[in-house]
């Protein structure tokens, strides 16, 4: 039996705050946005430090609708990831906003390395969470239990793995908020029926040589990410788990 009647759930007001920062990975943001924006009764606030266009790591510019000061409260807080996450680990304005928003949110969520930003704000300690496979080990630095799953739900924290998991993640959030009927309906509307032409999208199924090459290519970025994660954990007073 469905948890909620779909028509009744559609009438329930819902406010979702989705955070932007320079050099985010746009699909981390736009895939969940596409799902959330289709939820009847939902208001999606696109929140950034200023109202200037925010440029992704691949050059797509996205316009915020609110600043950290004007965003107000939200039922759902969402944080994407991407290369720009590294410098945001020391952005006090962003981290302070995350703490304020999380304090009043029913659900605190992320995709990809957005979970590291939640961790740097002190919002994941003692929780299970996931992240992009190249960086999931860094969650342990913050007292977070890494879970290498596509989507991880632990109490009111919902985290998605790397980039393309954003649709799976968002549908899981919708199911929690409004019930499975709406989530199934949106899955059909979006024709979400993936058949990847190459089964190399996760280190569990990719050739070992391909995985090693990906690690080598990402090594400089991962080294800097780890340096920033260690510094952020130290500011929180968390003893690293690695």
Residues taking part in catalysis: 112
Cα distances (Å, whole numbers) of residue 101 to 37, 63, 106, 123, 217: 19, 20, 10, 11, 35
Q: 37 exposed, middle or buried (CB, 10 Å; 0-12, 13-18, 19+)?
A: middle
Place of tokens 């609110």: 66
Q: Tell me the chain's radius of gyration from C-alpha atoms.
A: 17
Torsion of CA 51, 53, 57, 58, to 10 degrees: 160
Cα distances (Å, whole numbers) of residue 206 to 67, 92, 161, 165, 235: 41, 38, 16, 17, 37
Among residues 45, 117, 110, the alpha carbon closest in space to that of 87 is found at: 117
How far, in whole angstroms, is CA 38 from its chain's centroid? 18
């Amino acid at each position: 039996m469905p948890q909620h009647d779909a028509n009744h759930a559609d009438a329930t007001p819902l406010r979702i705050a989705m955070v932007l920062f320079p050099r985010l990975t746009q699909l981390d943001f736009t895939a969940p946005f596409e799902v959330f924006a289709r939820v009847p009764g939902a208001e999606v606030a696109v929140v950034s430090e200023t109202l200037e266009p925010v440029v992704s790591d691949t050059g797509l510019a996205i316009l915020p609708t609110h600043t950290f000061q004007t965003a107000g409260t939200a039922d759902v807080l969402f944080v994407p990831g991407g290369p720009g996450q590294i410098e945001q680990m020391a952005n006090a304005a962003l981290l302070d906003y995350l703490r304020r928003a999380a304090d009043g949110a029913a659900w605190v969520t992320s995709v990809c390395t957005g979970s590291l930003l939640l961790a740097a704000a002190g919002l994941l300690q003692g929780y299970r969470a996931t992240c992009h496979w190249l960086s999931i080990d860094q969650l342990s630095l913050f007292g977070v239990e890494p879970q290498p799953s596509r989507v991880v739900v632990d109490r009111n924290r919902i985290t998605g793995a790397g980039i393309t998991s954003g649709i799976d993640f968002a549908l899981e959030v919708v199911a929690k908020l409004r019930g499975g009927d709406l989530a199934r309906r949106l899955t059909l509307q979006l024709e979400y029926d993936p058949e990847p032409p190459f089964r190399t999208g996760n280190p569990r199924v990719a050739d070992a040589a391909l995985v090693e090459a990906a690690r080598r290519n990402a090594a400089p970025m991962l080294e800097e990410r780890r340096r920033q994660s260690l510094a952020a954990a130290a500011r929180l007073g968390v003893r690293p788990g690695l």
